[in-house]
Structure 1
Amino acid sequence: MKKLIQVFAALFALLVASAAYADAGDVEAAARGVVRVVIISQNGEELVPVTHGSGFAVTPTKIVTNAHVIREALQDDTLRIGIVPSEGDDGAFGRPLAVSPRNDLALIEITDDAIRLPPLTIAGGVGANLGEVSAVGYPMNVDLAQGLEISDIFNAQPPVKSRGFLSGERPSRQFDTILHTAPIARGNSGGPLLDGCGRVLGVNSFGADSNGSDAEFYFAVSLRELLPFLRANDIEPQTNALPCRSIDELNAAERARFEAERADARALLEAREDEMREARADARLSAQMAVMEERDNAMAIALILLLIGIGAGYAAIQLRQQSRLNPEGDATAQMRTMVAAGIAGAAIIGTVLIWITRPGYSEIEDRVAAALEELELNGGESGPPVSLAGDGTLICTLVPERSRITGARTDDVEFSWAADGCLNGRTQYGMTNGEWSRVLVPNDEAAVSVNTYDPQTRTFRTDRYLLSRSQMQAAREIRSAYTPPACGVLDAPRILGEQQSGVLAQLPSRPNERLVYTCEAAATAGAADEQ
């Protein structure tokens, strides 16, 4: 009953976590790759914004928007295209690479090499559950409500995020679109429509006609249009078709898995204890019967030898008396007396030795212990034990059902592991609270990764935190203040664990992505591949 209650509790936790479905942090992270696309005229030295829309990065320097957003700039060579990122103080000009009015798509390249944007990940398709979505962009009505002057659009500002639900896919205006209810307005055009994991489902384009009132339904150019457009222009975007699950859901699933494994371990231990109790009882009964039989046999032999000894002794006495009565007797009679006496002595000595060496009752416990020890040796787990020391070269494979991925690569991971926490003979891992970890703070990516490895279960995990520009700058400053100890340095795991604590303290409470891998020795993996 207790195990059944635990299973129901785990399932309930999983259902509750599933209701959370998505993490707002993913939409926030994706929004950092959304830009304001400004059409600019020049009056002498002064740059004057004419109108604007939105766009999003598909590579660090290439941006997707709507064709109608840049239409004026294509028809008037006095107008230029400006790109204003959501973070930082830098803006840049862009040049059109491709325009497709048929499906309202355009591709722009940033001309300033100093500006690089975090590319958004493209979803594998529209989910069948028609779940919650977010529209991200720069609606003009929000600018007006904030009292912003038109010149203020040159300043970096976070994009506006609105939420709604998918209403279906349908062709409209000669191209495939997605119908949704996440409010958009003028200025949102070209911005992304995101799923709950911050992945692009479409490019927002226009709203439904609602007799002059705000439209309740909105249209985005679908992936059926976007992906062929990008590939036709030699861009292979980041795509991810895995189910969108929240970190809460993964944590609930991990707790359920842990509880199930612990219940299985307890059941196995109880079964083993029952087996040992039965084995101990059988061994005791067997030992008792064997010892009693050996004692009985020894006592019977001792009795026989005793009788032989008595008989031989009696014979020796009789022969001795006859020799005294007949001193003239021959030597043969004397020899017989000596033989009878020898037999009597040997029989008596044998009787004493057998009686002394017969097994005692304490022998029963010794034999039970020996039988149980042999059972332990022959009845353990089959297969090679898991190495808790250095495992040599390992190949680690992603476990999708235990992972949450929005844009990270999912290739196999290969590394060599040593018992002192040295990876590949070069990279030292830190030890904190019994866990091996290494914090990575790259200079060319807006994400901090925390890698952990558990030698007992051979589980490798990467938690990725997608951070803002200011957060990444703070993490890089903390990281630059320490130099990780090299492999082999005395107390290196503890030292690195303390050094990394500063970066870890700055991270959000939970990651945006989690990649879980199971690892096996490279030789084993190769043998499995050959089969």
Structure 2
Amino acid sequence: MIRLLALLALLLPLPALAQSNADVDAAARSVVRVVVTDDANEGDLGMGSGVAVSPTRIVTNAHVVERAVESGGFVGVVPSEGRKRYEGKVVAYAPDLDLAVIAITSGRIEPATLYGGPVADGAAVAALGYPYGVDRAMASGLDELIRPQAPVKSLGHVGGRRTNARYDTVLHDANIGRGNSGGPLVDACGRVIGINSFLSVSEGIDSPFAFALSVKELAAFLAKAKVAPTVVTSPCLSEGEIGARAGALSQAEAAQQAQEARRAAVEAERATAAKQGIRDDIASERDNGMALAAGLLVLGALCAVGGMILLGDRRRKSKGAAWATLALGGALMLGAIVAFLARPKMSEVEDRYAKLHPSEPAPVLGGSAALQAVEGDKLCVIDMDRSIVKLSKTDDVPLDWRDDGCVNGKTQYGANAGTWSRTFVPNGEATVTIQSYDPAKARYSVERFLMGADAMDKARAIRARYKNNACTPDPAQRQSVADMESAIRAVLPTQPNEKLVYSCRTIAAEK
């Protein structure tokens, strides 16, 4: 019954391995072959595997380097890619834990990330290393064994945690053999969850299980060795889980935008009705002003005519009444002019509406995020619902954004359909990073592509064709940044290994 259940479990789709193993393949960059000799038997090579936990520090099993430690022999490190090999020195050694640290004296190796969270039973895993059986089957000579080449990848599942008086282990069924010792056991996101150390004893009845020293043991050992690896605790999501979450977020965002659009439409309709009422009031006031001006003009004209008649009456000796009548007529006609000019203008509709509704902003599609589409200092906080976190920490990110694509006063981003981005292709590490900012949504994102040596060389060659522009007001240079973005993206995988998405808010300036 147990075998039947195990068979059925193997036939079911495995969420973590549905990612085409891109992350596991990327983890292979950190795996090395460890070659050991001793003074007494220089021609007799001992071999095992290891994994870089910093650019210059390699973790392996203590029993892999035991010969070199006891006799002062040679330790060599052969990376999984490139053309160089490195000499190493054992700088930390704990045979009771079966762990050791090798320091390489030159060069660097892309370090792996450790996963410090809980490991679920049945989780998909991969063992990476250099088993002797493969070397023997390929009839590899010495030159072939010390030539950089990709490690062997063996897939399996976690069978549980096992702890004894000596150490804590992860039990798994990924096939490993002699030579895998010291190599990493990684989850489907390519994070190290253990260091393969030994196999269970098989008597031909059951398939052997393997034991990997857990990250709990590894992290404590590295802390004593003064090595600080990158450790994350974010769960590893499957491609299906990521797709389902992205679909739900898209639907929620679309629903929110539709709701905001409806709200904006209602507010706009209400504003239109209110403005029409104001417009009608102004038209009435203009008509009343015209009527008043006409009335005053008629009365003024009559007074003026009357005053002229009185002035021309020679029978009247006193002309005071005549002049008073003329003055009244003039005042009435002046009042008519003032009343005509004082009529409200139709252009006053917006001003009157603003005075009547001082606390209501104009309807804006895009909601609160649109209000953040302004330049200035921002604080960006990780949005875990939109992020695919596998390898990195998620601390808040300060961002000084300018409308011309200048970030933090020094880095020029290139524009692309409303989003600004910049691609970084470093010389010292094998990771291409794209940083982007969407002003309309106040959303900052970081995409990381874990690349092999050849792919990095292509990306660096493209980057070398463009100037590494700092912030510039020159449109031509800003376009050059955008062109560089497009050219580098063309040689990158379609999906990043990791994507961090941050929601940003404007930080009020201190007064």
The TM-score bracket by the shorter chain reads 0.7 to 0.9
8 A contact 1:175–1:225 mirrored in 2: yes
Match of 2:419 in 1: 435
The aligned residue for residue 234 of structure 2 is 242
Is 2:510 aligned against 1:516? Answer: no
2:487 counterpart SS class: helix
Alignment match, 1:104: 98
1:163-182 equivalent positions in 2, closer than 5 A: 163-172=155-164, 174-182=166-174
Q: Distance in 2 between matches of 1:485 and 1:116?
A: 28
Aligned-residue CA RMSD (Å): 4.9
Bigger mean CA offset, 472-481 vs 437-446:
472-481
Q: What does residue 108 of structure 2 align with?
A: 116
C-alpha distance in 1, partners of 2:171/2:501?
Answer: 35
Tell me how far 1:188 sits from its aligned partner. Answer: 0.7
Alpha-carbon displacement from aligned partner over 1:63-108 (angstroms, at most 9, x marks no partner): 1111222223333x27422211111222223222222222211222
Amino acid corresponding to residue 420 of structure 2 in structure 1: W
| 3-state SS in 2 of match to 1:158 | coil
Report whether the alignment pairs 1:71 with 2:66: yes
Partner residue of 1:202 out of 191, 194, 205: 194
Residues 473, 285 of structure 1: alpha-carbon distance in 2 compared, 3 angstrom cutoff: closer
The SS at the match of 1:102 is coil
| 8 Å Cα contact 2:61/2:197 also seen in 1 | yes
* DSSP 3-state at the match of 2:371: coil
17-26 or 91-100: bigger deviation: 17-26
The answer on 1:269 being equivalent to 2:266 is no
Matched, 1:398 2:382: yes
Cα pair distance change 1:251/1:71, threshold 3 Å: same
What is the deviation of 1:279?
Answer: 6.7
Change (3 A) 1:376 1:470: farther
Are 1:240 and 1:407, in contact at CA under 8 Å, matched by a contact in 2?
Answer: yes
Identical aligned residues as a percent: 37
Structure 2 CA distance for partners of 1:226 and 1:484, relative to 1, 3 Å:
closer
**Structure holding more helix per residue:** 1
Matched, 1:219 2:211: yes
- 2:116 and 2:233 in contact (8 A); partners too: yes
Is this contact kept in 2: 1:17–1:249, CA < 8 A?
no
* Residue correspondence of structure 1 range 3-402 to structure 2 within 5 A: 22=19, 24-40=21-37, 48-49=44-45, 51-75=46-70, 77=71, 79-110=73-104, 113-128=105-120, 130-172=122-164, 174-212=166-204, 215-246=207-238, 249-250=241-242, 252-274=244-266, 277=269, 379-380=360-361, 386=371, 388=373, 391-402=375-386
Give the Cα–Cα distance (whole angstroms) in 2 for the partners of residues 290 and 91 of structure 1.
87
TM-score scaled to structure 1, two decimals? 0.75
Aligned-partner SS, 2:169: strand
2:403 aligned to which of 395, 419, 423: 419
Secondary structure of 1:439's counterpart equals strand
The SS at the match of 1:107 is strand
**Gap change, CA 1:366 and 1:516, over 3 Å in 2:** closer
Q: What residue ranges of structure 2 are gaps of 5+ in the alignment?
A: 1-12, 292-321
- How much does 1:145 deviate? 2.2
2:432 counterpart (429, 438, 448): 448
Count of residues in correspondence between the two structures = 491
Distance 1:246 1:65 in 2: 29
The one-letter code of the counterpart of 2:138 is Q
Point out where structure 1 has 5 or more consecutive residues left out of the alignment: 1-15, 300-337, 358-362
Greater CA drift, 378-387 or 207-216: 378-387
Which of 443, 454, 476 is the equivalent residue of 2:460? 476
State which structure, 1 or 2, has the greater radius of gyration over its C-alpha atoms.
1
Q: 1 CA distance for matches of 2:136 and 2:14? A: 39
Tell me which moved more, 446-455 or 138-147. 138-147
Seen in structure 2, the aligned counterparts of structure 1 residues 367 and 54 have a Cα distance that, compared at 3 Å, is closer
What displacement does 1:252 show?
4.9
Mapped to 1, the partners of 2:274 and 2:206 lie a distance apart of 84
Measure the CA separation in 2 of the matches of 1:374 and 1:422: 38
Query: CA distance change for structure 1 residues 388 and 183 in 2, over 3 Å: closer, same or farther?
Result: same
Q: How does 1:490-505 map to 2 (within 5 A)?
A: 490-505=475-490
